[in-house]
Amino acid sequence: MSNQHKNSSYRPLNFFLLAMINVAAICSIRNWPLNAQYGFSSLFFYIAAAIGFFIPSALVSAELASGWPKNGGIYAWVKEAFGHKTGFLAVWLQWVENVVYYPAALSFVAICISYSIDPSLAQNQYFTFFTILVLFWGATFINLQGMKISGVVSSLGVLSGTIVPGLLIIGLGVVWYFSNQPSAISMDLKSFIPDLSGINQLSFLAGTMLGFAGIEMSAAHARDVPNPRKEFPKAIMLSTFIILALSILGTLAIAVAIPQNEINLLSGGIDALILFFKQYHLSFLVPLLSLLIGFGAFSTVLTWIIGPSRALLTAAQDGDLPPILHKTNSKQMPVSMLVLQGIIVTFLATVFLVLPDASTSFWVLIALASILYSAMYVIMFITAIKLRYSQPNVQRPYKIGLGNAGMWIVSTLGTLVSLFVIVVGFLPPDHVVNKGRYVTILLSGFFMFLLTPFFILMFKNPNWNVDKDKVTEGEVKS
């Protein structure tokens, strides 16, 4: 082990890198064209998602991170409130929902790469499959080099692949709107308020809310930040503002220039962006922008690969998983956990080879991931309320205002919205033919993953906590 890692004061992340990790984890241009198909009412969905979910989760995460700046993030917080079994359940839900989502997220990056080489490759299942494998294992290798390298690459990805292209899209949208060009949407009260009576609209509302999920994830790196009690809340608030501003303005910029009926949900957003740049006679930029946007999406996966894994590592070293999964390298990165995760993702990615048309299968996977993640958020919001009463004297440099009433208001709102996402997640979309099978698969998967951590703990061996006496708080065994 190097001297710098022996020194417990070593902190590879700073305020800026932490904020960029948050932006990389949540903000993605790939969602903007899909949201733009709802025109001006997309602003309604964004506002509802921000008030009902994103801001409450950011506020609660900021308070919990400032009061309990420990490795493990959600695991550490829930463990303080309800014990290690519930803490293990929470971090397990955070980890497993991402594992089932990675192939879908990386398939978008594969599409971006194909548009910079040969657009026909986007329809080639073998190209998609092998690109997913190369990207995922490449991201795993980068993370194994340590949080400093991972944080820098994530920051470069979000700056060059999200913020720069995002500002370009927003700038072009502003030019379009103020240059007497025909607007594809109406901006009035009637078009602002959507009809929420249909399942598609409710599903989109739930999807928009969950699109803002992940602000708590960076707390898994608490011990990698100098003065985390102060730096975490600041980074969370800055990244919250950046994410909301980019998402809202970027979506509206695309909506004003492209007719809603020309935005294809199945294109992953790239086709819509191509149309967008054609409007400005900038098609020559498409290959470069496709690569940049793909790099931005890759940085999102890069961020998620390590965050939940490090949080789960903390639970493993508390004895909740076998010693083989405790192993870390000299950079304090969870080697065994990352390898296991890679093996699972490799297996899931084979769906592209087995099912050339995997849209329904991935709809199930994405819906399942959404339901599992929402269940974790229910636990997190209840945890925040519990800790206000069970540990009122713990120093919280950032604290939600209005006393305990403020915490009740914020956490209750977040809990109700998370429960709403769970219920809507089980409702099959219109394009699913066998709706009964769809719901059955979701219910089976939900309860299987929900009960798995309890099943693991039933067979827990006392020897699994061999690291417990060797690892001091804030340090990871190498």
Query: Angle of helix 164-177 relative to helix 286-315, nearest 10 degrees?
Result: 130
**Distance, CA of 248 to CA of 262 (rounded, Å):** 20
Residue 209 lies in a domain: yes
Residue 475 lies in a domain: no
58: CB partners within 8 A, 6+ apart: 215, 236, 237, 240
Domain encompassing residue 76: 19-460
Residue 8: the pLDDT is 46
Residue 5 lies in a domain: no
Residue 353: the pLDDT is 74
Residue 328 lies in a domain: yes
**DSSP labels, 245-281:** HHHHHHHHHHHHHS-GGG--GGGTTHHHHHHHHHTTT
Average pLDDT rounded to a whole number, residues 291-320: 82
**Distance, CA of 366 to CA of 384 (rounded, Å):** 27
Tokens at 179, concatenated = 């240059």
Name the percent of the chain lying above pLDDT 70. Answer: 84
Residue 3 lies in a domain: no
Q: Quick check: 7 pLDDT over 60? A: no
pTM equals 0.80
**Domain count across the chain:** 1
CB atoms within 10 A of CB 214: 26
**Distance, CA of 367 to CA of 445 (rounded, Å):** 10
DSSP 357: S
CB 53 within 8 A of CB 414: yes
**DSSP labels, 178-224:** TTTPPPSS--SHHHHS--TTSHHHHHHHHHHHHTTTTTTGGGGGGGG
Residue 249 lies in a domain: yes
Q: What are the distances in angstroms from CA 183 to CA 24, 194, 252, 281?
A: 31, 19, 11, 17
Residue 12 lies in a domain: no
* Residue 220's CATH number: 1.20.1740.10
Residue range 188-199, pLDDT digits in tens: 788 788 777 766
280: CB partners within 8 A, 6+ apart: 172, 176
Residue 264: the pLDDT is 59
Tokens at 401, concatenated = 């205002």
Task: For tokens 């190097």, name the residue.
Answer: 2
Confidence of residue 281 (pLDDT cuts 50, 70, 90): confident
Residue 9 lies in a domain: no
Residue range 16-37, pLDDT digits in tens: 777 777 787 787 777 787 788 7
Q: Quick check: 232 pLDDT over 80? A: no
Nearest C-alpha neighbor of 267 from the set 8, 36, 65, 21:
36
Residue 407: the pLDDT is 94
Residue 221: the pLDDT is 61
Q: Report how far Cα 88 is from the mean position of its chain's Cα atoms.
A: 19
